[in-house]
Amino acid sequence: MSRLIILLAAFFLLTLCSGIGTAAEIYVQPGDSIQTAVDNSVSGDVILLKPGTYTENVNVNKDNLVISSESGNPDDTIIVAASSSDHVITLQANNVEISGLGITGAMDSYAGIYLSECNNCVLEYNKILNNGYGVYLLLSKGNTLSSNVISSNGVSGLFVCPRSDNNLVFNNYFNNTVNANIKNGAGNAYNIMKTEGVNIVGGPCLGGNFWAEPDGTGFSETAVDANEDGIADFAYRFADSICSDELPLVSVPEPEKPILSVTGFQIDNTSRNNSTSINEDNSDESTTDVSPEPARNVESEEISETFITDDKEVKFDFERNETCVAYLTFNSKKTVGKTTAVVEMLKANSSLVSEPLSDEVYRYFNIWIGDGEYATPANIENPVVCFKVEKSWLEDKNINWNSIKLNTYSAGEWKELPVNLTGEDNNFLYFTAQPLEFPFFAITGKSEGGIVGGSADSQPSGSDARGFNVENSGTINNANVEIALEKKATAPGFETIYGLSSLLVLFLYRKMKP
């Protein structure tokens, strides 16, 4: 009997090992099929949608998946129902996360997101507009809906059947003629405890949801908030239901930047890129709402978004390589919600800076974070900027890479910052620096002869190289889903683990054999 138990244990180990390393990130491009990615995925996979418009109805019937926009922005990654007589997304699985998507086009009795017998799913940071129902919960338990904009849906923004229990709905913006059709259920909650933090309409506290109506007479638009904490003084009771939102949100006089804008999105059948290239614009207008830099001086720009919470490292990745900046990290001292960082690579010194630089200038660039006034020592600490310098420029200018510096402009003068070489690829050297001031920067070097370029041996370890990987990201990033799935099928290390486990079984069997 003991031999049998040992053999069974060994085979159990083999079975467990067979699943190691199979989870992957699958990138889907506009024109490819989200459904194909879902059908060929396995538990634990992350399906990331590139910016663009996808016209299809998606059925998710596999557990433990994440389906999200790569940008995190529902305004630039939109799923439009191919058939308006079907749900845009049908969930029939557990532990699925849907995030950062625009969802629209289902009509009459069909929903933007339809959950049928789903448990522990998460819907967040989506815009669910112009459907029959926004979100429909049928026999579903333990799900969380937060930070979504659910608006202009013809039948109801939210439907909860009487046998959907223990669901949590908070920090959403509802603006529908009928916002919620709640058929009770056990243990459902429509608010969390009052917590300090920027809510979806820019108020200072998290609690319940914002309940608007198209004619401007919604509960949250008319409720009293005597202490101006962004929470109504009275609960919002759902019609024909025993349920209520005990801490409904209201507008505040001077809101901070909300987590999501509550306006609708523009549907475009061409892919939108998070980066913008500006080459022939001679106007004096700035390139963004935040930047005062004239557009005529901006060669290119790239935008990155992330969610900022206090006491956690924040990272903005600039993966499209439109500028000389690879990423930006810092620790935030306060929660500000979803925030945008913009890098502008300039044609010449910033028009907002009067002083020239004496060294050879590789690039001038600006970094704007949030409203342009957020990136101060009062709000952030330990900032790190990773930037890259072309090897060909070093060679042409006879620049010693040891002389590369990042310069920041403040109080009427340029200040030189030391840098660390953190890596290289075929075309670039990568450096990091810790700036004390934003937003004006310049990369410089001295023409002294000597060593040009760098080597892998010079790459440091530890915090200076954190989050940096030049060539092999470990994710699947191909132009179409079929190629990505084909590569995912062979997980690195699986054959080794499987072989070792087989040898273990054989060894135990031969050792026990009389």
pLDDT at 80: 95
For the chain, list the domains and their CATH numbers. 22-252 (2.160.20), 294-445 (2.60.220)
Say how far apart CA 213 and CA 423 lie, in whole Å. Answer: 53
Of the candidates 294, 295, 442, the one whose C-alpha atom is nearest the C-alpha of residue 356 is: 442
Q: Is the pLDDT of residue 363 over 80?
A: yes
Strands (E), 171-274: 173-175, 180-182, 195-196, 205-206, 210-212, 236-237, 244-245
For Cα atoms 183, 186, 192, give the angle at the middle one, nearest 5 degrees: 95
Q: What are the beta bridge partners of residue 424?
A: 429
pLDDT at 461: 31
pLDDT-derived band at 452, boundaries 50, 70, 90:
very low
In terms of residues, how long is the chain?
A: 514
The predicted-structure confidence for 247-259, as pLDDT tens digits, reads as follows: 999 988 777 666 6
- The answer to whether the beta carbons of residues 135 and 158 sit under 8 Å apart is yes
Would you say the pTM of this structure is higher than 0.85? no
- Mean pLDDT for 376-391 is 91
Strands (E), 395-475: 405-410, 413-417, 420-424, 428-433, 440-445
How far CA 131 is from CA of 93, 135, 176, 440, in Å, comes to 22, 9, 11, 45
- The answer to whether the beta carbons of residues 128 and 134 sit under 8 Å apart is yes
The predicted-structure confidence for 68-80, as pLDDT tens digits, reads as follows: 999 899 999 999 9
Of the candidates 410, 400, 396, 424, the one whose C-alpha atom is nearest the C-alpha of residue 350 is: 410
Say how far apart CA 417 and CA 238 lie, in whole Å. Answer: 58
Say how far apart CA 432 and CA 377 lie, in whole Å. Answer: 19
pLDDT at 506: 54
Burial of 399 (0-12, 13-18, 19+ CB in 10 A): buried
Q: Is the pLDDT of residue 450 over 70?
A: no
Of the candidates 422, 394, 418, the one whose C-alpha atom is nearest the C-alpha of residue 408 is: 418
Residue 266 CB contacts under 8 Å (≥ 6 apart), including other chains: 75
